[in-house]
C-alpha cells in the first residue's frame, strides 16, 4: 500500500480538470496575444477563466492577474507595493512561507525597509495587540500575514488583521495559498490590498496561480516583456494552466461544504487513533476545528532517536508526508516554523495533510505504520 498525505505540498489533479485542460490543449493552441482567430479564441478562454475566478471571490475581473504560482504572486505584491508607495517599514510573522520571508528579508538586507516580526504564542498564533502597537508607531506600513500556516494549519482571523491595518492606513498582503479553494473568500467585504493563490493546492495544475490586486492599488510589473495581463505581467499566458485553475476553483467552491465535513472527520479520526496508539504523542499548532485548517495535522512524536530518519522510514513503508524537526544537523537547519513556536528539537514532527481522495483505511495504515516505527525507538 502506498498512501499520500502531503496535500499541503501539492494535490492530485482532479479528472475533470485534466479533461478540460486536454480539451484546451487539443482545440486552443493559439497565442492569446495574436489578433487572428486562433489567438482570439485563446484570449476569450483566458478572460472567461478570469471572470470565473473573480465571480467566486466577489472581485472584479480587472483585479485578477494570473501568475506562475504563489511565489511569484507574493514577490510581485511585496516588492512592487513597497516600491510604489515608498514604504520603509514592514511587519510580518516569523513563520510565514519562505516566499514571503525571504523576499522581505532581502529588501531589509538591501536597506529598503526595516522589518519587524510579530510575537507568537506557543501554538503559533500571532499577537494582534503587537500588530496594533507596531502600526501605531509606523502607520504607513506594509503588512504581510498568511491566512493559514502551511505547516501548523493555524488560521489567522484575517478580518481582524484587515480592520487593524485599515485603521492605521497600512497596506495588507495575505498569502492565501493554503485556504484558497478550501474556504470561501469574499473580497467585497474584506478590505485587503493583495492576496495570492496557487492552483496545485486545490486539485489544479502546477505552474499557475494568481494575484488579486485591489483596484485602489497601482503597482508596476515584476516581470517585463510584453503587454500580457493588462501590462502587468510579461510572458505568454499559460492558457492550459489558467483554464485548469478556473475549473479547479469552480469545483472547489461547488463541493466545499461537503469536502470540509468529509476531511475534517478524517482529520479528527486520525488524531483520535494517534492518541490511542502512540503514548506521549502531541500536536503542534492549533487543533480545534474553528482555529486550524481541516486539511492539516502536525504531529510531534516521542521517537526521539529517529530524528529526520522518520520521514525516510515512512516513505519506505509507503507513506508520503512531510515535516522535520525544530533543529537538525548538517545543511538542513530544520523547520523555521517549529523553531518559531519553540518546539522540542529532539522530537521529530510530521505534517499529515488531507484531501478529498483520502480514506479511513489509509489513516489506519498510517497510524499502524507510525506505531511500528516508534515502537522500535
At a CB cut-off of 8 Å and minimum separation 6, what does 122 contact? Answer: 341, 342
pLDDT tens for each residue of 304-353: 777 678 899 999 999 999 986 544 434 456 789 998 988 888 889 999 99
| 3-state helix vs strand vs coil in the chain, percent to 5 | 40, 15, 40
- The helix or strand, by DSSP H or E, that contains position 165, with its residue range, turns out to be helix 158-167
Residue-wise pLDDT tens digits, 236-264: 999 999 999 999 999 999 999 999 999 99
Question: What is the pLDDT, as a whole number, of residue 334?
Answer: 77
Q: Would you state the pLDDT for residue 331? A: 40
Q: Where are the beta strands (DSSP E) in the chain?
A: 3-4, 64-67, 89-92, 114-117, 142-144, 171-175, 194-198, 209-213, 282-284, 296-300, 319-320, 322-324, 349-353
Q: Indicate which residues carry an active-site annotation.
A: 327
Q: Tell me what pLDDT residue 332 has.
A: 56
Mean pLDDT calculated for residue range 57-76: 98
**In the predicted structure, residue 214 carries a pLDDT above the cut 80:** yes
Q: Which three cell numbers stand for residue 32?
A: 492569446
Higher pLDDT, 331 or 64: 64
The residue whose grid cell reads 505584491 is 77
Q: How much is the pLDDT for 324? A: 61
- Does the structure show a pLDDT above 70 at 71? yes
Residue ranges, CATH 3.40.640.10, the chain: 15-251
Residues of the chain with CATH 3.90.1150.10: 3-10+255-375
What is residue 188's predicted lDDT score, i.e. its pLDDT?
Answer: 96
pLDDT at 2: 94
Q: Which option is the CATH number for 3-10+255-375: 3.30.70.120, 3.40.50.10300, 3.40.50.300, 3.90.1150.10?
A: 3.90.1150.10
CATH topology of domain 15-251: 3.40.640
257-263 contact pairs (CB < 8 A, 24+): 259/182, 259/356, 260/182, 260/294, 262/356, 263/294, 263/295, 263/354, 263/355, 263/356, 263/358
40: pLDDT strictly greater than 60: yes
Res 77: pLDDT: 98
Query: What are the tens digits of pLDDT across the range 94-148?
Result: 999 999 999 999 999 999 999 999 999 999 999 999 999 999 999 899 999 999 9
Amino acid at each position: 500500500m502506498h498512501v499520500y498525505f502531503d496535500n499541503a505540498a501539492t494535490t492530485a489533479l482532479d479528472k475533470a480538470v485534466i479533461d478540460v485542460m486536454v480539451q484546451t490543449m487539443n482545440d486552443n493552441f493559439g497565442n492569446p496575444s495574436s489578433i487572428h482567430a486562433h489567438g482570439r479564441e485563446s484570449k476569450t478562454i483566458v478572460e472567461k477563466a478570469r471572470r470565473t475566478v473573480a465571480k467566486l471571490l466577489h472581485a472584479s475581473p480587472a483585479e485578477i492577474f494570473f501568475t506562475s504560482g504563489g511565489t511569484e504572486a507574493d514577490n510581485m505584491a511585496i516588492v512592487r507595493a513597497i516600491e510604489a508607495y515608498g514604504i520603509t517599514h514592514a511587519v510580518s510573522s516569523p513563520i510565514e512561507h519562505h516566499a514571503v520571508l525571504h523576499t522581505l528579508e532581502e529588501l531589509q538586507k538591501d536597506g529598503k525597509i526595516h522589518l519587524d516580526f510579530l510575537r507568537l504564542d506557543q501554538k503559533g498564533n500571532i499577537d494582534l495587540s503587537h500588530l496594533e502597537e507596531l502600526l501605531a508607531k509606523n502607520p504607513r506600513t506594509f503588512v504581510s500575514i498568511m491566512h493559514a500556516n502551511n505547516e501548523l494549519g493555524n488560521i489567522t482571523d484575517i478580518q481582524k488583521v484587515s480592520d487593524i491595518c485599515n485603521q492605521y492606513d497600512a497596506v495588507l498582503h495575505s498569502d492565501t495559498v493554503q485556504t484558497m479553494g478550501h474556504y470561501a473568500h469574499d473580497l467585497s467585504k474584506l478590505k485587503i490590498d493583495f492576496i495570492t493563490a496557487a492552483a496545485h493546492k486545490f486539485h489544479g495544475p502546477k505552474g499557475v496561480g494568481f494575484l488579486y490586486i485591489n483596484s485602489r492599488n497601482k503597482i508596476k510589473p515584476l516581470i517585463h516583456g510584453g503587454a500580457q495581463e493588462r501590462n502587468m505581467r510579461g510572458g505568454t499566458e499559460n492558457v492550459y494552466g489558467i483554464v485548469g485553475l478556473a475549473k479547479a476553483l469552480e469545483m472547489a467552491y461547488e463541493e466545499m461544504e461537503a469536502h470540509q465535513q468529509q476531511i475534517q472527520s478524517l482529520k479528527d479520526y486520525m488524531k483520535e487513533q494517534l492518541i490511542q496508539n502512540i503514548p506521549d504523542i502531541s500536536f503542534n499548532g492549533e487543533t480545534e476545528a474553528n482555529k486550524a485548517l481541516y486539511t492539516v495535522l502536525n504531529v510531534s512524536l516521542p521517537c526521539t532517536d529517529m530524528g529526520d530518519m522518520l520521514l525516510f522510514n515512512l516513505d519506505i513503508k509507503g507513506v508520503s508526508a512531510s515535516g522535520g524537526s525544530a533543529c537538525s544537523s548538517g545543511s538542513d537547519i530544520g523547520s523555521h516554523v517549529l523553531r518559531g513556536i519553540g518546539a522540542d528539537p529532539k522530537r521529530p514532527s510530521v505534517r499529515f495533510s488531507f484531501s478529498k481522495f483520502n480514506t479511513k483505511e489509509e489513516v489506519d495504515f498510517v497510524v499502524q505504520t507510525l506505531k511500528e516505527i516508534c515502537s522500535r525507538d
